Structure 1
């Protein structure tokens, strides 16, 4: 087939496929509220309003926080900087609670930047929205859904509410499952003035007030971890509807837990790894790949084997794209010059030969141009997918490959000079035809996550999944945190 016609047919095929995909594409989400998949339709066409519950910043963020952020990524999130956990930690360290929370909020932002999570439009903090919180509590009291007892304000139980694990036992409540909207000040705790006396907000009211302030009582998506469905999100719905009967969130989305030995990873259980601990040994993009490699609603069990596999997978992706770029560059350099041939002889035979050669060169050029176009299309499509997944590196493929190799060397306890020395020693062994020892040297490095590849007369290395690898890593004693009771 004529190459030009082949190219035209390919372009038509691409356009037809693109049109078909556009016509058939529908964004479907699983709505926890209705417990079914639904076609997503924003309340305002072309504009999505979304709120995702943020971290309680009293320590370095762990892998569970990373999964929530990466699962939603281009979402609105908030920071909780007024909470029982923060106050307890501040009392332990002797630090001001707001300063402690601010420090860990900054650390969280660094972690999210490393994981290539895009910044949301707003990152509201509880301490900066006390007036909105107090206004909402006042609305709830005025509509007889809240009541005051000795400076505390409780939300009056609705019939379909259940007693929850974070609802504290208090004999002053009208019902045991009533939860706190405002907590009276206690010695050593931060407090703010209010119509009910000095105090601080309850956990649930914070999200209701901040989401309503930025998105109104009607918005598209509210997200968070599965553990927030009850009681936190149920309480949010109750108090938001009490404050405004028109309150309406279209879709509730929840991501699954990260588990360690099939137990939920959390700070309160002390079985967690911080994001920083993991990215010291694994590239942040390898961690991101690991986090998105399972369905977002399914549990994700942490294991070194899976992290090694994720690191190996993204190395392969970036190496393939670098090879594609190198091939494109080489093909472009090999395209024959379009200049006119300088014929200096009238010899008929030579003229015919030169004409034939020029014709062949033009054919080769057209074929190379088709290959270049195809490679560019492939690279473009792969890059588009990487962009959507947040896996497109912020630097060149060559640079990110070097970074991945550095992390592999760190995990192996080696420096590159060690690997080069072993490669040279193995080359000498191969020259002596001691192939058994050569294989043993290769296997020794492979067990450490370093693969040797013989390419012609040269040997190069790349990271790989270690041949023997423990499936789990148990936190050291210094990483463990004793379980603490949770109350509201």
Structure 2
């Protein structure tokens, strides 16, 4: 298995720290808002990496954090006049709704910064004692000049970083690029006690402390979006290796940016999409399928046409599986025909899929092989092949294997694919309401005013207002 390692800037053979086990840490969201499409890409991709390792027989220890102490959370809480921790908890739960919809498996551990202050403070204290950090007026800064390897992950020289960075001038720092490990409390902000006075941790130290607690030094894979390479992951490397004297993570994996009409997604450009908004328009399986249709290190351009194309592709897979289920019900237990070529072709597709995923988790190629498998099965069905039930079951099992790795469709406990309607939540809601309106209209046509009024009143109680107009019935949500 080959993995592109950001640290070495080349593909390397994957050799785990402990045979048969993979320890992974992936940076999770800062919980001050719903997750956006840029959050969803690493969420889905690294979930697929985890699934593939499990498919190949590894035991995976998967850790994904929640940053629930952060400047953005404090600012948002002040704007909404909420307690900062209550706001963070709200968006942790909203995260799970979106992640569950996208069929992202729960991590083995979802550590929160707020539950790991002792570990964070202990790590900062070690850095101070080892001469890698210094205290100024209750703030603690990491001394980057004390770590000669600073810049090895991003491949940048210190002079380049300083020239390109937007760093506020702070005369108290030894070097302008020194970063905060602990921030002294400001009036009105949440704070925790520490040896340096009340305050809160800096962003970078949080992930270091939590990953080291659950995975130890030299764990296998640290992942996240490419926007985190510098400064977040660069700073994690520096402070972790300075504190422990050991290598931090063995393989660093970063997914590419999401663009919208070839421009980077950003709030300032007005092309910023929340996952919740997208899932109201497209089924979660389609969104996940779309995200996996491009190699993870390549930019991914978002537009409606590409999502619609992903939906059509997914419908091919759904229909193939449905037809397979029907054929299985009719297939004989045994046949006199030779099925060896068919079984050999299924074996070749499995090996092609494994080769694609072994080559730096090439999900784009793996999706193509899934389509090839679907074409093989559809052709056999169209030809009216009389295979035994076991031969058709082998085909269905292979579709299920590929799906279990890619995580497109949800599955039953026995591994069978659950074929949903293929409709987004918003589309399903509209169709259900229209169905109820049609039933009310039928009642009105029969002069069954009691039933018609009850439907109207019950919908109103649910927040749905019906308006009878000369052009028909309209509905809206009550404000």
Superposition TM-score, scaled by structure 1 size: 0.69
Structure 1 CA distance for aligned equivalents of residues 233 and 333 of structure 2: 60
- The residue aligned with 1:67 is 41
Structure 1 residue runs without a partner (length 5+): 1-26, 336-366, 419-488
- The residue aligned with 1:104 is 91
- The residue aligned with 2:27 is 53
- The residue aligned with 2:196 is 196
- The residue aligned with 2:369 is none
The answer to whether the aligner puts 1:400 opposite 2:419 as a matched pair is yes
- For 1:111-152, what per-residue CA distance to the aligned partner results, in whole angstroms no more than 9, with x for missing partners? 111111111110001111001000000000001110101000
- For 1:381-419, what per-residue CA distance to the aligned partner results, in whole angstroms no more than 9, with x for missing partners? 11110111012333699973524388667799996899x
The answer to whether the aligner puts 1:245 opposite 2:219 as a matched pair is no
Structure 1 CA distance for aligned equivalents of residues 189 and 290 of structure 2: 39
Superposition TM-score, scaled by structure 2 size: 0.70
- The residue aligned with 1:124 is 111
Matches within 5 A, 1:403-414: 403-404=422-423
The answer to whether the aligner puts 1:89 opposite 2:76 as a matched pair is yes
- For 1:180-218, what per-residue CA distance to the aligned partner results, in whole angstroms no more than 9, with x for missing partners? 111000012111000001000111111111111111122
The structure 1 residue matched to 2:14, chosen from 40, 43, 46, is 40
Structure 2 CA distance for aligned equivalents of residues 95 and 262 of structure 1: 37
- What secondary structure does 1:370 align onto? coil
- The residue aligned with 1:385 is 402
- Kept in 1: contact 2:124–2:181 (CA 8 A): yes
Deviation at 1:272, TM superposition (A): 1.4
- What secondary structure does 1:402 align onto? coil
- Using the TM superposition, name which of 68-77 and 222-231 deviates more: 68-77
- The residue aligned with 2:390 is 373
- What secondary structure does 2:387 align onto? helix
Deviation at 1:254, TM superposition (A): 0.4
- The residue aligned with 2:381 is none
Structure 2 CA distance for aligned equivalents of residues 198 and 254 of structure 1: 35
Aligned length: 363
Label 1:269 to 1:108 Cα distance change in 2 as closer, same or farther (>3 A): farther
- For 1:428-447, what per-residue CA distance to the aligned partner results, in whole angstroms no more than 9, with x for missing partners? xxxxxxxxxxxxxxxxxxxx
Structure 2 CA distance for aligned equivalents of residues 399 and 197 of structure 1: 54
Greater Rg over alpha carbons, structure: 1
- The residue aligned with 1:172 is 172
- Kept in 2: contact 1:286–1:307 (CA 8 A): yes
What RMSD, in angstroms, separates the aligned Cα atoms of the two structures? 2.9
- What secondary structure does 1:134 align onto? helix
Structure 1 CA distance for aligned equivalents of residues 137 and 189 of structure 2: 17
- Kept in 1: contact 2:334–2:389 (CA 8 A): no
Deviation at 1:261, TM superposition (A): 2.6
Deviation at 1:255, TM superposition (A): 0.7
Deviation at 1:330, TM superposition (A): 2.6
Deviation at 1:368, TM superposition (A): 7.7
Label 1:253 to 1:405 Cα distance change in 2 as closer, same or farther (>3 A): closer
- The residue aligned with 2:120 is 133
Label 1:370 to 1:325 Cα distance change in 2 as closer, same or farther (>3 A): same
- Kept in 2: contact 1:167–1:178 (CA 8 A): no
Matches within 5 A, 1:163-242: 163=162, 165=165, 167-242=167-242
